[in-house]
Structure 1
Amino acid sequence: MKNLLVSLEHAGDFDEIIDVRTPLEFAEDHIPGALNAPVLSNEERVLVGTTYKQVSPFEATRMGAALVARNIAHHLETTFSDRPRNWRPLIYCWRGGKRSGSVTMLFNMIGWQARQLEGGYKTYRRATLDTLVTLPKAFSYIALVGPTGSGKTRLLAALNTAGAQTLDLEALAAHRGSLLGAWAGVPQPSQKRFDTLLVSALRTFDPARPVFVEAESRRIGSIALPLALLDTFHQGRCVEVISNPEDRAAFLLHDYAHLFDDPELLKGQLQRMIGLHSRERITGWQQLVDDNRRADLAHELIERHYDPAYARSSRQHFVHLARALQWNFRPNDADVVDQAKALLAELDSSALAVV
């Protein structure tokens, strides 16, 4: 089988990449563009593992072989029924073991030029982590810095529409970053999946052009940002996004509408702030929820929670914040793309280079 092994650097030489792990493993993360054709279902993998521990390795292997054979037969009759004779697939599993090995061997017996990824997904994962140490440093960043509600995410999207290179970390992490920032009904990706998505995004950028990114802390919800990325854009240029209090409150009411529409959920989220704020203050905010005083709560959160947190973190992290271009932004207006174009023009004409 050694002559059927190939290294990760040759993955692009194949017609298709086939991930034969379970759907759960595939959902956690996978090589970009891979097709999932599991040789064991989620339940079957658990059953084989339990048999291995409670009965014997031999019985588990015999059971697994029968299950894998049936599932491969099913894929041959369905998923791969239209593949041509000269098809060249690359097959991988968790660590380049029996699952991918059995598929690779059988595919070659059929006549396809199948190869097995040496080391499997684990090799890919190590390569991803290594890439995240170096690749983020290849770009120059312009960080959009500003307190919650100033519309940084909306400005970032408008900059993208205007033709700028943008890295939307909150979109990749499926979270707005703040304590109340969970997306309604959308789970966050795994850390592994986020890392894969981040590398894929970075590889689309031109190093000769700046990349706009929203200022973030070390964590976005449950996701940790790579230190190489944080360190690089913390050392780079900044634009301080400024919006008036009324615009910020209106923006929060719109972006966090799912929370305001679910009072019990919102009160539960506020309860998590105990430790950051006194119980009396939290109780007062929860009373505003009960009274449906949404605007008052938005102003309270801005003044007493978000702004103090922003003042602490921004001064600590962004080296060139004192020299940042201050940009007045109206996040609720219809002309946000025109505002973004004006910002790009201002950046082109101003001396923002870091010295």
Structure 2
Amino acid sequence: MDLPQIDDYRSLFLNQTPLLDVRAPVEFSQGAFPFAENFPLINDKERETIGIKYKNMGQDEAIKLGHNLVQGDIKEERVNHWQSFFDQYPQGVLYCFRGGMRSKISQQWIYEKTGIIFPRVKGGYKAMRRYLIDELENSVENIQPIMLGGRTGIGKTILLDKLKQQIDLEGLFHHRGSVFGKHVTAQPSQIDIENNLSISLIRHLDNQVSQIVFEDEAPNIGSRRIPEILYNKMQQSPLIQLEATVDERINITFHEYIIEALAEHQQHYGDDAGFEKWSMQLIEAIDKIQRRLGGVRHKQLKSLLTYAIDQQRENNITEFHRDWIKSLLVDYYDPMYDYQFSKKVERVVFKGSHNEVLEFLSDHYHLS
């Protein structure tokens, strides 16, 4: 029986079609798509064993070994996983790496078990990935980025959250964008970030949105990089400078670095272990910028930080964190920002507070 394939990749991504990825877990971890779940036909060890057989004995022997490894209860368990997926997502489709043997076998086994035909993606992961790479380039050519800049702690992400026509790169990259910006869980792979970014751009353009607000970022966010084609266009785009008082910036930074980050750590590790891991991450971040701070400033800043941590641990007082945060913002981040901003000043089209920037975006770009 010739089971159906689907190759309308654009519709798959625009419709957020649930995707059943039957590749091995190691392949899935290297790169996947949003709304994809991994229920492999063969696991990592089986894939390695079959690969050796293929190399030494050829395709037929490798296929035979695969059927021997995945039979009986093992086969039943995996088909049941797939059936559960499609019971939950009857509009879903499945794929493997190239849309060949693995997805075809999976498709056949599901049909034999349920009598229902679920399509597989023609060309598999490789074709969908190629489509998103090509579309990323095409999308960047057809958008007009509007850059939102401003000093560290000024609340650029807070403002972005109030807009529909925006892409939050720090959200996509799962990083707050500074040496203090690590989350508890790791950043997505570079491939995952590129896939998500491309899909976000496709959706905006499909909604006839070409003017998109981005935060003005460095080339790297955490240990991942902004695709060069997008970063280059961002560097040539109009820049809006968000402004706020030092006290407002301290409050925003305090909420991110102290309240939100600690809560995230404690939720992940438990109260005591979470507190210790969070405080160690802050100390490690201070040590990472020791060279730029200089010995004296580093010692002063670390002393303020460790005192604040001790006061919080022993007396549940958090306010001392504001002292080192103020020093960090004013003495460390602001001089760096002033230097970088001096190279962008000719691109600035507006400066103002949160509300003034929102009003400007509405009046001049019709953004909401």
Residue 48 of structure 2 is aligned to residue 21 of structure 1: no
Secondary structure class of the residue paired with 2:23? coil
Matched, 1:291 2:307: yes
Question: Secondary structure of 2:166's match?
Answer: strand
C-alpha deviation, 1:300, in angstroms: 1.7
Structure 2 residue 194 is matched with structure 1 residue 201: no
State how 1:36-47 maps to structure 2 within 5 Å. 36-47=38-49
Q: What runs of 5+ residues in structure 2 fail to find an aligned partner?
A: 264-274, 309-319
Counterpart of 1:95 in structure 2: which amino acid? R
Comparing 273-282 with 71-80, greater Cα deviation is found at 71-80
Measure how far apart 1:259 and its partner are: 6.7
Q: What amino acid maps onto 2:177 in structure 1?
A: G
Worse overlay, 288-297 or 171-180: 288-297
More displaced 10-residue stretch of structure 1: 92-101 or 235-244: 92-101
Partners in 1 of 2:256 and 2:19 — Cα distance?
A: 39
Structure 2 Cα separation of the partners of residues 201 and 351 of structure 1: 20
Deviations 1:271-321 (A, max 9, x none): 111333323332222122222242221122112221122223334357512
Q: How does 1:163-178 map to 2 (within 5 A)?
A: 164-178=164-178
Counterparts of 2:44 and 2:236 in 1: how far apart (Å)?
Answer: 45
- Tell me, in whole angstroms, the C-alpha distance in 2 between the residues paired with 1:8 and 1:67: 33
Work out whether residues 132 and 226 of structure 1, in 8 Å CA contact, stay in contact via their aligned partners in 2: no
Displacement of 1:146? 0.2
Pairwise mapping of residues 121-270 of structure 1 onto structure 2 (< 5 A)? 121-157=125-161, 159-160=162-163, 164-183=164-183, 185-205=184-204, 206-208=207-209, 210-257=211-258, 258=261, 262-270=278-286
Contact 1:235 1:318 in 2 (8 A): no
Aligned residue identity for 1:168: D
RMSD after superposition: 3.6
Tell me if 1:345 matches 2:359.
yes
C-alpha deviation, 1:251, in angstroms? 1.7
| Equivalence map 1:49-88=2 (5 Å) | 49=51, 61-70=63-72, 71-77=74-80, 79-80=82-83
**C-alpha separation between the residues in 2 aligned to 1:141 and 1:285?**
37
Higher helix share: 2
Q: CA deviation at 1:218?
A: 0.8
Aligned partners of 1:60 and 1:40: how far apart in 2? 12
Q: Give the secondary-structure state (helix, strand or coil) at the position aligned to 1:325.
A: strand
Other-structure match for 1:334 = none
Within 5 Å, give how 1:276-355 maps onto structure 2: 276-292=292-308, 293-316=320-343, 320-321=347-348, 324-329=349-354, 339=355, 343-349=357-363
